[in-house]
Structure 1
Amino acid sequence: MKRIIIAGGGTGGHIFPAIAIANALKQQAPDTEILFIGAQGKMEMEKVPQAGYAIQGLDIAGFNRSSLIKNISLPYKLVKSFYQVRKIVNAFQPDAAVGVGGYSSFPVLRYAQSKGIPTFIHESNSFAGKSNILLGKNATEIFVASAGMEKFFPADKLLVTGNPVRKAIIQSAMARDEAIRFFGLDPNKTTVLVVGGSLGARSINEVVASHVTDLLSLDLQMIWQTGKNGADGYKERGKPFPNIWVDAFITEMDKAYAAADLVVSRAGAMSVAELCVAGKPVIFVPYPHAAEDHQTVNAKYLVNKEAAMLVKDEEVRVKLFSTIVQLAKDKQKQHELHERISQLAVTNADEVIATEILKHLK
C-alpha cells in the first residue's frame, strides 16, 4: 500500500485537477491511501471531502496586494504552517507528495523534499508560478500542460501531459435538451453559459447584470455562474427573469457544458482544458492581473488557431455583449469554433500523471 499526499488548492483550477489525479491513482492502485493538504477557509476544505477524500488544513495565506495591513500576520502564518506540515507529514509517512499549486503546496513539498520523499509538481499554466519554480529544482518529475516550459524547469524532469479534466466532463453523454431542462430553461432558445471562475469575474458579471433585460427581447437565455464575490447581488438581479438561471457556483459543470450553445469564460488553464474537451464555442475574457498575463497567453493559443474568440478585459463594457449576441446568432461560426476547439482536447492527462507517479514508487 502506498501513501500519497496531494497539496494545494485555493481555486477550482487547482482543486479539480487534484481530485482527478487522486481518482486516477485510486483507479490504478486501489489500495493507495491519499491525504489532501489545503489552506483553512479555502474551497478545497469543502470540495475535497465531497469527493470522498480526507483533507488537513493549514493556517496559511498568500500575499494580499489590495490591503497591505492584512499581510502583518503573514510571516507568523508561514512559520506556523511549516510546523503543521511537519506534524502532518511525520504522522502520515507518505511515499510521495504531489503539488498542484496554491498556498499550501509550497511548505508541504519543501518539507517532503527535505525528508527525501519523492515530490511531483503539476503546473497547469503556460507561465510557471514562483513556488513551483523553486520546488522544481529538487522535484522528482514535473508535469506540464504544454511544451516550452524548459525556461522554468530542468528539461530532464519535464513531461508534457496536458491538464487533468474531471471525468464527468470527459464522459458526459447528456443530451442538450435534457441538460437545459435540468436548469429549468427552454430547449428551443439559444443558451449562453457565463462562468467567471469559482471566485467570480466582476467585469463579466457587471456587463451581464446590465443586460439581463435585453436577453428576453433577443430570444436568448443564460446559465450564469457568478462566482463567490458579490454573488448575492447578482442573484437578486438575475432571478426575476425566467430565461436566466443564476447561482454562485455550478456543481455539475458537465450539465452546464452540455446545455450551452456558447460560453463566456475567463482563460485559466483548467477552464481552457475543460472547454476543449466539451468542444464549446467560447469567448474568452482573460483575467488581466494573472501572473505574466498568462490567461491572455492561454486564450491567444486558441484564438491563433481560430478555435476561440477573445475580448480584452478593458474592452468588456464596450464589446462583450455585442460579441455574445453576434456569436449567438451565427450558427455557422459556432460550428466552426466547435470543430476547431474539439481538436485540441486532451482526455487522459490524469491517467498519464498517475502512471508516472506510481512508476517512481515501485
Structure 2
Amino acid sequence: MGNYRFILSGGGTGGHIYPAIAIANELKKRHPDAEFLFVGAKDKMEMEKVPQAGYKIKGLWISGLQRKLTLKNLMFPLKLVSSLFRARQITKQFKPDVAIGTGGFASGPLLKMAASSNVPCVLQEQNSYAGITNKLLASKAERICVAYDGMDQFFPKEKIIKTGNPVRSDLVDLKVGKEQAVQFFDLDANKKTILIIGGSLGARRINQLVEKEIRFFQEKEVQLIWQCGKLYFEEYKKHNSDNVKVLAFLNRMDYAYAAADIIISRAGAGSVSELCLVGKPVLFIPSPNVAEDHQTKNAKALVSKEAALMLKESELDAEFEMAFTSLMDSESTQNILSANIKKLAMPRATEHIVDEIEKLLK
C-alpha cells in the first residue's frame, strides 16, 4: 500500500465546503500518510476556509451561470474552458487515487477531468433536490452518497448510497446539559428558550420577523438566543437584553442547541442534518433565494414525515404568531416533532462516505 492521494472539490457556500473538509479529516484519520489537495473557485470562501482547516487548495477561474444575460454569462464559456484546462493540469500533476466532489461550481470541471483520466469519482449530494453540477457529473461517478430518499429521480439507482450528510463532530454527541447551556448564555433556567439561526451570514427576512415579534415573544414569556449573522449585528444589537441575546455568530453551537426548547432555522442541508441529531422541535423558514429552491424541498421532506414545521417567508406576517403559539402550547406536538426528527439522524455519515471511498482504492 503506497501513500494514497485524494483530491476534493466543493465550494461556493459552507454547505459544500464543510462536508468536503469533514470527509478529508476522516480520510486523514484512517490514512495519516495520505496526501490531500482541494480545488475551489478562485474568489469563493473555500479559498479561505480550506487552508484554515489545514489543507492545500488550488483555485479555478469559474462561476455559475447567472439567470439573466450578464457580462458574467458571456464570460462563462471562456471560464469553463480555462477551468477544464487547469483542472486537467492539476489532475495530471497530482495523480489522485480518488476524486471526491461535494457540489458547487469548481467540482464540475475537476471531476469531469478526473473521470476522463480514469480516476474513480465519488459524489456527495447534500440536498433533497440534486444540484446542477452533481446531476451533470452523475454518469461519470462510481458512487453517489446522498442524504434523502427518492434521489433516483436524479441519479442512476445502482450508484446511490444513502449515507446522510457529514456534520460537525461536536454535535454528534451533545455532552452539554441544558442547565449548563442556559447559564452559558446568561439566561433564566425556568423559561422556555427559543433558538433562532439564520446561517453564518444571517437571514434578513428572519431578522425582520424577530424584530417585529419581540413584544409577542415577551408576552409568551420566552427568551431568545438570536444569531442574527455578522452582516446584521450592528443593526440588531440594540435589542440585546436579559431575555434576548443577540449574537453575530454562535461559536458554541453545541451549547446553543442544548439550551433550546424550540428552534427556528433556515433549511440548508447542513442545518437540517444537524437538527436531526439535536432532536428538538423545529420551525423551518426556508430561504427562497437559493438554487432550485432546494431549502423549501429539504424542509418539505421533513414536514412530510411529521418531523418539522415549515412557514414560507411569504406566510410569516399572516401565520407566524398562530403557528408559533400552537407549537408552544402543545407539548404533544413538540414531542412528536422531536421523536420524528431524531429518527432521521445519521450520525455516522462521514464514516459511511469514507467507507465507500475506501472501496475504490486500488
Report the TM-score when normalising by structure 2: 0.90
- CA drift of 1:156 comes to 2.0
- Match of residue 118, structure 2, among 91, 116, 135: 116
Identical amino acids, percent of aligned pairs: 49
Residue identity in the other structure for 1:231: Y
Aligned with residue 168 of structure 1, among 164, 170, 188: 170
Quickly say closer, same or farther: Cα 1:62–1:235, change in 2 above 3 A: farther
Mapping of 1:210-359 within 5 angstroms? Answer: 210-227=212-229, 230-238=231-239, 240-359=240-359
**In the alignment, is the contact (CA less than 8 A) between 2:129 and 2:298 conserved in 1?**
no
**CA distance in structure 2 between the aligned counterparts of 1:233 and 1:110, rounded to whole angstroms:** 43
Distance 2:150 2:270 in 1: 18
- Aligned mate of 1:130, from 121, 132, 157: 132
C-alpha deviation, 1:292, in angstroms: 4.3
Residue 87 of structure 1, CA deviation: 3.7
Any gaps of 5 or more consecutive residues in structure 2?
A: none
Kindly provide the CA deviation profile for residues 85-126 of structure 1, in whole angstroms up to 9, marking residues without a partner as x.
234333322111100011111111111112111111011222
Q: Name the counterpart of 1:103.
A: 105
Within 5 Å, which residues of 2 pair with 1:21-100?
A: 21-65=23-67, 68-100=70-102
Contact 1:142 1:157 in 2 (8 A): yes
Conservation of the 8 A alpha-carbon contact between 2:183 and 2:189: yes
Preserved CA contact (<8 Å) 1:287 1:295: yes
**Structure 1 residues 122 and 272: CA distance shift in structure 2, 3 A:** same
- Could you tell me which residue of structure 1 aligns to residue 8 of structure 2? 6
With normalisation by structure 1, the TM-score equals 0.90
1:188 to 177, 187, 190: 190
CA distance in structure 2 between the partners assigned to 1:71 and 1:292 by the alignment: 18
Secondary structure of the structure 2 residue equivalent to 1:254: helix
* Aligned-CA RMSD value: 2.4
- 2:175 is paired with a residue whose SS is coil
Equivalent residue, structure 2, for 1:18: 20
Q: CA deviation at 1:149?
A: 2.1
Q: Is the 8 A contact 1:191 1:223 kept in 2?
A: yes
* Distance across 1 between alignment mates of 2:19 and 2:82: 27
User: Relative to structure 2, which stretch is displaced further, 84-93 or 156-165?
Assistant: 84-93
Q: Give the AA of the match of 1:145.
A: A
Per the TM alignment, residue 273 of structure 1 is displaced from its structure 2 partner at its CA by 1.4
- How far apart are 1:37 and its partner, in Å? 1.8
Which stretch shows the higher mean deviation, 51-60 or 104-113? 51-60
- Stretch of structure 1 that moved more, 64-73 or 200-209: 64-73
**Segment of structure 1 superposing worse, 46-55 or 142-151:** 46-55
SS at match of 1:137: helix
Counterpart residue identity of residue 213, structure 2: H
Which whole-Å CA distance do the structure 1 matches of 2:59 and 2:250 have between them? 24
How many residue pairs were aligned? Answer: 360
Cα distance in 2 for partners of 1:35, 1:262 equals: 40
